[in-house]
A and B are shown apart, each in its own frame.
Chain A
Amino acid sequence: MKKIHYLICGSLALAGAALLLAGCAATSNQANGARLWSQNCSRCHNNRSPASYSQAQWEVSMMHMRLRANLTGNEYRAILDFLQTASK
């Protein structure tokens, strides 16, 4: 599948550094997740409603989008938490 950006991607893209930098886990809250979602997730495409996917589907999708959006570990967890709570 074709990818969006210019300098991008291969078969083995690693989120390693993001994982390291996200070392200190913060307890994410819903409001934070919602804000981060609206700030980060409509940058490239329209936001899809949280209710359009199941919890498991959001987990898969967020694995992909965490890379695309260059999320930190905290941002990733807060957004995933928000999406899963509001999921179908």
Chain B
Amino acid sequence: MAWVNRMADQPLAVYDGLLPETLVGTQLRGGVPLGSMKFNYAAFAANAPSLNTDTNGGSALGTLAFDNFDNGNGNFVGGGHLGFLPIPELELGYGLIYGGVGSAEAPANAFLQSADLNFVKDSAALRGSLRLSAQWVWSAVDHVDYGAAGSFDNKRDGGYSQISYRPTKWGSPVLARFEPVFRFDILNQKNTPAAYDEWRYTLGLNYWFGAMTVAKIGYEFDQRDGDTAHNAVMVQFATGF
């Protein structure tokens, strides 16, 4: 998957942050044309993620574990996503997941929502191809009594926006292989046992060997309110088949 992602690491909040990257279940999806516009939809039922109630886990208390290959507590979640494409280059989407995530001793529902925007344009005027993507996620889990750890308002949110550009139409085959990327991402969870908010600025530069083979370097400026920040240098090589 790393050959699809423009950045060496994944943004905060989405992809196994507040939302699952994968769930095991069954899904129905498709597209509906509306003149020159288009809608797409997906609806699914899946094994539920499980609520982390291990009070020894410290900061992970109240987070959702998404590696749900079995259906531990007999819970299922349902959800879907609706996308609207007013023009073929732009997709605006909204998604939700709802269902039980707790256990018999600590029953709880989770309600996850997300709004997303994707824009991809390849044109002579831009002298290349431009990609913009942004997504924001809201996660709300019911109040649960975590025993000694008490209870807290289990609401988190976060998201990212990213822009990347490939100068494919400047008449230079060498230049066309490069792709600068910039991303800003946020995760707000200071009111939970994680006890910090985080936001990052990441600069990246990719070099495309071919359509599906890429080398990436990046530098991440990390900032945290309530915890020590960790800046990072990232290097990644990825290929798809």
Q: Could you list which residues of chain A lie within 8 angstroms of chain B, going by C-beta atoms?
A: 1-19, 21, 38-40, 42-49, 52, 67, 69-72, 74-75
Contacts and interface: CB of A to CB of B under 8 A. Distances in A.
B42 A10 contact: no
Nearest to A71: B31
Interface stretch (B114-122, B150-158, B185-193): B114-122
B107 interface: no
Contacts of B72: none
A14 B212 CA distance: 27
B14 to A, nearest CB: 6
Main DSSP-derived SS at the B contact region: strand
A42 B91 CA distance: 13
26 contacts: A2-B1, A2-B21, A3-B1, A5-B81, A6-B81, A6-B95, A6-B137, A7-B20, A7-B44, A8-B27, A9-B22, A9-B27, A10-B25, A11-B24, A11-B26, A13-B28, A15-B29, A15-B30, A17-B28, A18-B29, A21-B30, A43-B118, A46-B212, A47-B211, A70-B83, A75-B31
Contacts, number: 120
Contact of A18 (B23, B30, B97, B120): B30
**A-B complex: 6 closest residue pairs judged by Cβ atoms:** A18-B30, A70-B40, A70-B31, A39-B88, A10-B25, A46-B211
Interface string B76-103: 0001110100001101000111000000
B30 A7 contact: no
A9 B25 CA distance: 7
B15 interface: yes
Interface residues of B, number: 47
A18 B42 contact: no
Interface string B125-159: 00001000001010000000000000000000000
Nearest to A35: B88
Contacts of A52: 211
B1 A10 contact: no
Contacts of B31: 18, 21, 69-72, 75
B27 A14 contact: yes
A4 B21 CA distance: 7
Query: Which of B26, B80, B129 has most chain A Cβ within 10 Å?
Result: B26
Contacts of A8: 21-23, 27, 42, 44
A17 B14 contact: no
B95 A10 contact: no
A55 B172 CA distance: 32
A69 B95 CA distance: 16
A59 B22 CA distance: 25
Given A1-B1, A17-B29, A52-B211, 4 more contacts: A3-B21, A17-B30, A39-B89, A70-B83
